[in-house]
Structures are given as C-alpha cells and as structure tokens.
Amino acid sequence: MGDDVVVQILSRLPAKAVLRCRAVCRSWRRITTTAYFVAAHSRRRPLQLLGYTGLVVDSSSSPYSYVFTVTSVVPAFCDGDDAAGCRILLRHNMRVSLRGSCDGLLLFERKTGGGAAAPTTACSSATRRRGSWSICRRRRTPRRVGVTVGDTVYWGRRQTDDRGQMSAFDTLSETFRRVAPPPPVSHADEGPMFDMHGALAMTAMSSTEPYLDVWIAAAAAAGGENWVRLLRVELPPGHYYSGEVKPHGYGKAVLDDAGVLLVAMNGWPSFLYDTKGRRMVVSCDISLEESHDYHETKLRSFCSQMHSLFVTDMWV
Amino acid sequence: MATGSGAAAAAADAEEKESGSRMITLTSNEGKAFVVTEASARQSATIRSMVDDGGCVDKGFPLPNVDSKTLARVIQYCDEHGNKEAHTVDERAALAKFDKDFIAELDADKAFLYDVTMAANYLHIQGLFALTTQCIADTIKGKTPEEIRTAFGIEYDLTAQDEEEIKEEDTHA
C-alpha cells in the first residue's frame, strides 16, 4: 500500500492506537510522525469548544485567589475515546488568557496590570515541538477576529454603529466591501458568525424571546448577500438574555463536520445543537469568558507537556 | 473571449442534457470491458474530470491499475450510489444498509479489501475509500504492534535506536 493510503487509514485511529502503530515498522513510524500526518489526524478529531474561565478559590498557598482553567466542551458524537460533556484541559493560577486556537495551537496572552505590553505565547499540541515561543508584543487588545468563509473574512457590525453594516475582506482581490446584515436583526441581537458548509451564517438572539436564530447568506451574483433564516433554536431557560443587557458580539459559534453547532456566548451557558436532527444535544452550565474552536490531538502527552511549557514560558 | 466561453458553456449544457442516458465503458487491466451509466462512472472523481474535460468518452477508459474482479466490485458500489436517489430518509437508510453489507462482505477477504481500497484511491471514489479505510482502521484499532505486523505481513525492521525512542514515548504517553 502506498504512503498516502496508509496515512488515510492510520489517521482514522484514536491516538492510543496511533502510538501502537509507531512501534510496528520503520515505514509506519516515519509516516505517523510527520507533521502532515499529525495535522491530518488532528483534523479528524472531534471539534471542541474551548473556554477560558476564572474561578475564585480560597488558597493560602498561592498568591493568587483565582484559578484559571481552559475547559473543553466536547460534542456527544465523538468517534474517539473522549467522553461527552465538559472537562478541564488546563488549570493554572496565573493570569493569562486564551486568545485563539488553530489546528492544535493555543495562543495565550499574559495579563498584566494597567494595560501594559503583554507578551503573547503560543503552545503547540499538534507538532512534536517541545518549545514554545513568543509571537509578538502588542499594546492594545485587537479588534474582534473576523470569521473566514472561503476566501472572505467577515466582521459584524461595530458595537456603537447602530445603522452600520458588516464588513468583508476578500483575500484574493485584497479589497474591503460593506455587507448588509440580515434585515430583521438589530445590531444588539447580532451574535457570533460561523462558516456553515462554505456559506456565511450569523446567529441572532433577541433579549425578549427564548430563541436563537441562524441566518445564512447566499451570495447573490451581484456581490450582495441574500439572507435566509435557516433555523430557529428554542433555548432552555437560563440560556437567553431575558431582558438583561447582553454583551454585544462576543462569543463563538462553530459547526463541525457532523453538523453539530456549538454556541458559547461569553458569560452564558454554552450548548451544542444538532442542525441535521434539529435538536439540542447538550447544554452545559459552565459559562465561558472566552471561547475558541479547537481540534485536540493527543499524539503527544498533551496536558502535562503543555502545562510545563506554559509554566516555563510564562516566567521566562 | 466572451463568445468563446459562451459557446463552451452552451456545449456543456447540451452535454449535460445528454449525459442522463450516456453509457461509459471502463476496461480492466485484463482487457475486460464494463459498460456503466455515466452517473455511476461519475462517482469516480478521476473519470468525472476526464469526462468533463471532453475526454475519450466514446473510446472508453482503460484502467491499467485495476483487475476485473476488483473493478466489478467497485462498479457494484458506484451503481448503487450513482444510479439511485438518496433524498428521503428511507432512501438514505437503504444506501447505508447497502454500505454495511458491502463492507462486511469485503472485510471477510482482506486481500480483496486492500485491492478495492487501492482502486478506490486510484479512481478517487471518496465514499468507497472512506468506507474501506475505516474498515481497515477498525481492524487495527485493538491490536498490539506484533498482531498488526502479523495481520499485514509486515516485517520487523526497527533499529535499536527506534526501540529506545518507543520506550521513551511509552513512559510519556
């Protein structure tokens, strides 16, 4: 069998079985240790939602009274050896915050007082790299990261801009353009956007109704977007903003290959919704301060290794 | 330029209308010809792109890497997935049952399963390739390295240095 076929077979295995395959022969060993293989394996892992939370603890041994955790919400449909539900991926008592993730890479920012320059660090769980590195220093929290759909990056309306429009950046022509939001959705109801099988989708939650709507933009020939309401998800009590002021535009929604939508609005309980079966899968009580989508790979002893990376790097 | 592409589009449209009834000939490496519907043949991305490029539809497609027995089985899969509709819940369930029976039968004859996998890879039949590779992965899943070597007829060729690294990895895993 050719290497490409072997990659396709072995990337379908759970991490433990892949480790056993590394002890089969030299050729399998070579194949399963390439960065290409690890990335392919990682992409087949279930999509998770990572959230960053600070918990108050009573600790006399630590100078900090908070424990910061990176918690993972895993869809119920896992094919691997993960249990459904939530679990804590990382726990630390240092003030860092999770800024992003991409293919097994986690990006942290160390929090310092008074808005001073903070080093940003990345920890890799997907590659075999043991080190971590400082990516950049910056002074201000960046603008919200846009949602990439195909060749275009989209941003929602700005908080203060009531009559404003969304913006889109075409990465091929390198041009910005304005995009009209779904007409009935007011800027205050606008939720996180996500890539729905190649189309731009936007979530919307009103403060008065227990629903989350999913709007999808079919790109019209003229370049404008034609919005259609695709789904209306009824939310359980406690999952919507009944009359309260909600933070605008924060949160995260992602759709995995199996059609499970993960929604986390920062500071509110998260949930998973099956868009094919049209039913709520899991709603979990933890509320996440920041959330990111993530494919974990356990091909390296991920938690302990990252923990130590994390500690050393933070204090360098 | 504009007229040229317009004419090409019109030609493609005309072809599209014809394609429903068109038959395509696939020839195995033993020279045996199999006549299939275009819908069935289009399950293969390799053949699909050749057809769309206006390739030798009339002359048929020789497949030098696939023998008759394997090709017959691959065509069985393509006929089922290409010629039948899968819109309703019942239709999808029927197709899922076909896949289940199809792979169970192949699983009983490993050498043949590998031949079909290679053919699915060569012909880029995504669904079939996913089905067979998942089946092979499932057989590997619970096995020790030694059992995997026996099952696949792989020779032990790890060096002392490899063994040392493997031991190291085990303690970290």
Q: pLDDT tens for residues A184-239? A: 787 778 888 888 888 889 888 877 778 888 999 876 545 567 888 888 988 877 66
Q: Do residues A183 and A236 share a domain?
A: yes
Q: Between A105 and B111, whose confidence is greater?
A: B111
Taking the Cβ of residue B129 and every Cβ of chain A, the question of whether any pair is shorter than 8 Å is answered with yes
Q: Is residue B65 part of a domain?
A: yes
Mutation target among B114, B132, B141 for the A interface, most CBs of A within 10 A: B141
pLDDT of residue A250: 63
CB contact under 8 A, B169 and A14: no
Q: What is chain A's mean pLDDT, rounded?
A: 66
Min mean pLDDT across A16-30, B82-96, B131-145, B149-163 is at: B82-96
Q: Does B156 touch chain A (CB under 8 A)?
A: yes
Q: A136 and A203 share a domain?
A: no
Using CA coordinates, name the residue in chain A closest to B170. Answer: A19
Lowest mean pLDDT among A78-87, A217-226, B17-26, B66-75: A78-87
Asked whether the beta carbons of residue A25 and residue B169 sit closer than 8 angstroms, the reply is: no
Residues A112 and A125 in one domain: yes
Question: What is the β-pairing status of strands A211-219 and A225-234?
Answer: antiparallel
- The CATH number of the domain holding residue B69 is 3.30.710.10
Residue of A nearest to B156 (CA): A25
Q: Name the pLDDT band for B70 (thresholds 50, 70, 90).
A: very high
Q: Are residues A115 and A173 in the same domain?
A: no
Q: Please tell me the predicted confidence (pLDDT) of residue A312.
A: 26
Q: How confident is the model at residue A291 (pLDDT cuts 50, 70, 90)?
A: low
Task: For residue B153, tell me if it sits in a domain.
Answer: no
**Residue A138 confidence class, pLDDT cut points 50, 70, 90:** very low
- As a whole number, mean pLDDT of residues A159-174 equals 72
B87 touches A: beta carbon within 8 Å: no
Spatial CA neighbour of A201 closest among A261, A142, A270, A246: A261
Q: Do A26 and B172 touch (CB under 8 A)?
A: no
Quick one: pLDDT at residue A167?
81
pLDDT of residue B167: 83
Q: Is residue A257 part of a domain?
A: no
| Residue B163 lies inside a defined structural domain of this protein | no
**Is residue B68 in some structural domain?**
yes
> Rounded to 5 degrees, what are φ and ψ at A254?
-140, 150
Give the tens place of pLDDT for each residue, B91-127: 888 999 999 999 999 999 999 999 999 999 999 999 9
Number of domains in chain A: 3
Do A32 and A59 fall into the same domain?
Answer: no
Determine how β-strand A175-179 pairs with β-strand A166-170: antiparallel
Q: DSSP code of B57?
A: T
Residue of higher predicted confidence among A85 and A253: A253
Number of domains composing chain B: 1
Q: Do B121 and A4 touch (CB under 8 A)?
A: yes
Q: Which of A1, A5, A31 to mutate to test the interface with B (most CBs of B within 10 A)?
A: A5
Residue A256 belongs to a domain = no
Domain that holds residue A114: 50-142+295-315
Q: How confident is the model at residue A314 (pLDDT cuts 50, 70, 90)?
A: very low
State yes or no: pLDDT of A179 exceeds 70: yes
Cα dihedral value A257, A204, B89, B20, nearest 10: -80
Going by pLDDT thresholds of 50, 70 and 90, the confidence category of residue A168 is confident
Q: Which amino acid does the sequence have at A188?
A: A
pLDDT exceeds cutoff 60 at A166 = yes
Query: Between these two residues, A210 and A58, which has the higher pLDDT value?
Result: A210
Ranges A22-36, A58-72, B37-51, B119-133: which has the least confidence: A58-72
Predicted pLDDT at A54: 60
Question: Stretch A20-34: mean pLDDT, rounded?
Answer: 90
Q: How confident is the model at residue B89 (pLDDT cuts 50, 70, 90)?
A: confident
- A contacts of B154 (beta carbons < 8 Å): 24-25, 28
CB B70 within 8 A of CB B109: no
Q: How far apart are CA A10 and CA A111, in angstroms?
A: 40
Residue B41 lies in a domain: yes
Mean pLDDT, to the nearest integer, of A116-142?
A: 40
Asked whether residue A281 is domain-assigned, the answer is no
pLDDT of residue A199: 86
Q: Is B26 inside any structural domain?
A: yes
Q: Is the model's pLDDT at A118 over the cut of 50?
A: no
Instruction: Tell whether A154 and A234 lie within a shared domain.
Output: yes
Q: % helix / strand / coil in chain B, to the nearest 5? A: 65, 5, 25
Which residue, B116, B124, B133, is CA-closest to B71?
B116
Mean pLDDT calculated for residue range A139-162: 65
Q: What is the pLDDT of residue B123?
A: 95
Nearest Cβ partner for A29 among B136, B137, B162: B162
Per-residue pLDDT band for B71 (boundaries 50, 70, 90) equals very high
- Give the pLDDT of residue A146: 72
Instruction: Evaluate whether residue B17 is within a structural domain.
Output: yes
Interface touch A21/B140, C-beta < 8 Å: yes
Closest CA to A289 of A68, A108, A140: A68
Q: Report pLDDT for A143.
A: 46
pLDDT score, position A48: 63
Dihedral sign from CA coordinates of B69, B74, B75, B80: positive
Q: Which of A2, A23, A305 sits opposite B166 (nearest CB)?
A: A23
Are the beta carbons of A20 and B117 separated by less than 8 Å?
A: no
Q: Which residues of B touch A13 (CB under 8 A)?
A: 137, 140-141
Is any Cβ of chain A less than 8 angstroms from the Cβ of B136?
Answer: yes
The answer for A238, left when phi > 0, alpha when psi is -120 to 50, beta otherwise, is left
Do residues A152 and A217 share a domain?
yes
Same domain, A168 and A99: no
Residue A155 has pLDDT above 60, yes or no: yes
Record the pTM: 0.58
C-beta atoms surrounding A261 within 10 Å = 23
Does B166 map to a domain? no
pLDDT at A303: 32
- Residue B4: pLDDT above 90? no
Q: Are residues A58 and A137 in the same domain?
A: yes
Contacts with B118 from chain A: Cβ below 8 Å = 1-2, 5
* Mean pLDDT of the A255-276 span: 74
Query: What mean pLDDT value characterizes chain B?
Result: 85
Residue A81, pLDDT > 60, answer no
Range of the domain at B130: 2-141
How many angstroms separate the CA atoms of A148 and B124, rounded?
Answer: 28
Instruction: State the first-to-last Cα distance of chain B, in angstroms, to the nearest integer.
Output: 61
> Is A35 within the bounds of a domain?
yes
Say whether both A120 and A80 belong to one domain: yes
- Whether residue A235 lies inside any domain: the answer is yes
